[in-house]
């Protein structure tokens, strides 16, 4: 009776890998991500092996070499296959291909479909020279979206509980239909490109090994903010108008997994941070106190960090002006009556600057510092999990 027992155990074990091998809960264990990746690679071989072992058991029973009651052992195998493939346990995430977009003038006419309130959060980015806004209640329904602009395409990956969007331009030969969502480990979508066999992390836009995925361009800067703030900066924005009939009412950021409550080399896991696009991952706390602009070093960049007086959002400017000139800016001590817009002065040339870093007086008059986009509203625990080298910058007043 050892043979039927071994056949049942082998079939059930293979089916268990299919059913539970890509579970997001595995991310919290050592080598959990590696297990998820290996399980997805072996998914169909495990299905074939399990079915072959089930057929072998049936053959043994028909040949009269074991009691027919051993076939009851196929019940757990069937249950595991149902667990592995049923949509009730694994809700499918399908790609939304080229959804319609409307101009801001049309939003008022179709407001229930396009945007629910002016305070609703959106993911905003500029693609092919045009600003786009994707409302949260639409992204909750469609976390994987293909944007098409003539001959250019970009894939939007939305990890809801990470409050993070990545926008990846696609090469011409890349087919987004060959990309599937494998799991949601550590609050990030994990995608599998079946054509090239690469796994892509949703919150970083890179492979699980930190490399740039083949067939994709450099990620675009995607910002999350209230719709009213976005249209204040981009009045010509286009708003996604995909129909959503599932009653989704999400209009603000969701919190990440409770597992991130445990501090990971810094503050609590649900602490919001703002990340800078630097080669060495760096971030500051979203609620950092800024009573005046501050000079900081974030990764490989020397930045001026300030808070917009109108929106209270963080802004950063690259203090590298030209060649080897790195400016150190500080607030002026006394407002200038003739130039009330002047707020800063640099120590190197004593030129005067506005808050948006335009030099309006002094040797550097006419120069302007480049603004560095910030990805605000991310969560420390999520980003630290996927970017172990992430450093938290503490501005010194």
**pLDDT, tens only, 12-46:** 999 999 999 999 999 988 899 999 999 999 999 99
The burial class, CB within 10 Å (0-12 / 13-18 / 19+), for 395 is: middle
**108 and 26 in one domain?**
no
**230 and 111 in one domain?**
yes
The pLDDT of residue 42 is 94
**105 and 33 in one domain?**
no
CB 330 within 8 A of CB 396: no
CB 372 within 8 A of CB 219: no
The pLDDT of residue 110 is 47
Residue 397 covered by a domain: no
Residue 68 covered by a domain: yes
Pairing between strand 130-135 and 238-240?
parallel
DSSP H/E element including 127: strand 121-127
DSSP H/E element including 334: none
Last residue of a domain, one of 33, 56, 85: 85
For all residues of the chain together, what is the average pLDDT? 86
CB 39 within 8 A of CB 21: yes
The pLDDT of residue 229 is 87
DSSP H/E element including 67: none
Exposure of 386 in the CB half-sphere (CA atoms within 13 A): 26
φ and ψ of 48, to 5 deg:
-65, -40
Residue 55 covered by a domain: yes
**150 and 38 in one domain?**
no
Q: How many domains does the chain have?
A: 3
Enumerate the β-bridge partners of residue 225.
122
The pLDDT of residue 265 is 58
**104 and 69 in one domain?**
no
Residue 53 covered by a domain: yes
**352 and 267 in one domain?**
yes
∠367-373-378 over CA atoms, to 5°? 155
Last residue of a domain, one of 85, 117, 145: 85
Question: How far is CA 118 from its chain centroid?
Answer: 23
Residue 249 covered by a domain: no
Last residue of a domain, one of 60, 85, 110: 85
Residue 247 covered by a domain: no
Distance between CA 262 and CA 381 in Å, rounded?
8
Of 89-93, 137-141, 213-217, 311-315, the range with the lowest mean pLDDT is 89-93
Residue 253 covered by a domain: no
Task: Say whether pLDDT at 339 is over 80.
Answer: no
**29 and 112 in one domain?**
no
**296 and 196 in one domain?**
no
Residue 248 covered by a domain: no
CB 18 within 8 A of CB 50: yes
What is the pLDDT confidence band of residue 112, given thresholds at 50, 70 and 90?
very low
Of 48-62, 80-94, 203-217, the range with the lowest mean pLDDT is 80-94
Task: Say whether pLDDT at 349 is over 60.
Answer: yes
With DSSP H G I counted as helix, E B as strand and the rest as coil, what are the percentages for the chain, rounded to 5? 30, 30, 40
**209 and 101 in one domain?**
yes
Q: Which residue has the tokens 């609050």?
A: 187
Calculate mean pLDDT across residues 138-164. Answer: 92
Distance between CA 55 and CA 29 in Å, rounded?
34
Packed helices 43-62 and 74-85: angle between N→C axes, nearest 10 degrees: 160
**375 and 281 in one domain?**
yes
Calculate mean pLDDT across residues 195-222. Answer: 92
Nearest to 159 by CA among 146, 135, 143, 176: 143
Pairing between strand 371-372 and 375-379?
unpaired
**267 and 150 in one domain?**
no
User: CA distances (Å), 49 to each of 58, 77, 182, 359, in order?
Assistant: 14, 12, 21, 70
Q: Which domain holds residue 290?
A: 258-392
CB 130 within 8 A of CB 239: no
What is the pLDDT confidence band of residue 104, given thresholds at 50, 70 and 90?
confident
**155 and 120 in one domain?**
yes
């Amino acid at each position: 009776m050892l043979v039927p027992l071994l056949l049942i155990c082998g079939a059930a074990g293979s089916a268990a890998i299919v059913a539970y091998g890509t579970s997001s809960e595995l991310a919290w264990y050592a080598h959990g991500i590696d297990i998820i990746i290996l399980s997805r690679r072996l998914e169909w071989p495990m299905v074939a092996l399990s079915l072959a072992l089930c057929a072998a058991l049936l053959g043994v029973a028909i040949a009269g070499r074991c009691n027919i009651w051993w076939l009851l052992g196929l019940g757990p195998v069937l249950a595991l296959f149902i667990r592995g493939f049923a949509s009730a346990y694994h809700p499918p995430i399908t790609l939304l291909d080229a959804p319609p977009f409307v101009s801001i003038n049309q939003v008022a006419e179709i407001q229930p479909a396009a945007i629910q309130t002016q305070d609703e959060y959106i993911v905003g980015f500029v693609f092919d020279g045009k600003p786009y806004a994707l409302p949260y209640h639409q992204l909750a329904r469609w976390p994987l979206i293909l944007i098409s602009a003539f001959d250019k395409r970009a894939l939007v990956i939305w990890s809801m509980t990470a409050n993070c969007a990545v926008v990846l331009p696609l090469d011409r030969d890349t087919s987004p239909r060959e990309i599937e969502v494998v799991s949601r480990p550590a609050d990030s979508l994990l995608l599998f490109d079946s054509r090239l066999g690469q796994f892509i992390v949703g919150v970083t836009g890179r492979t699980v090994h930190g490399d740039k995925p083949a067939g994709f361009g450099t990620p675009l800067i995607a910002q999350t903010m209230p719709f009213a703030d976005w249209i204040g900066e981009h009045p010509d924005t286009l708003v996604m108008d995909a129909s959503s009939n599932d009653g989704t009412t999400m209009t603000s950021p969701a919190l990440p997994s409770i597992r991130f409550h445990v501090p990971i080399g810094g503050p609590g896991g649900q602490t919001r941070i703002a990340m800078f696009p630097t080669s060495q991952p760096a971030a500051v706390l979203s609620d950092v106190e800024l009573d005046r602009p501050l000079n900081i070093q974030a990764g490989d960049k020397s930045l001026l960090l300030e808070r917009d007086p109108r929106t209270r959002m963080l802004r950063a400017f690259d203090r590298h002006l030209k060649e080897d000139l790195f400016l150190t800016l500080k607030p002026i001590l006394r407002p200038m009556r003739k130039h009330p817009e002047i707020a800063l002065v640099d120590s190197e040339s004593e030129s005067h600057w506005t808050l948006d870093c335009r030099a309006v007086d002094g040797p550097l008059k006419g120069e302007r510092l480049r603004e560095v986009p910030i990805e605000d509203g991310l969560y420390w625990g999520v980003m630290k999990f996927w970017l172990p080298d992430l450093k938290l910058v503490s501005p010194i007043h």
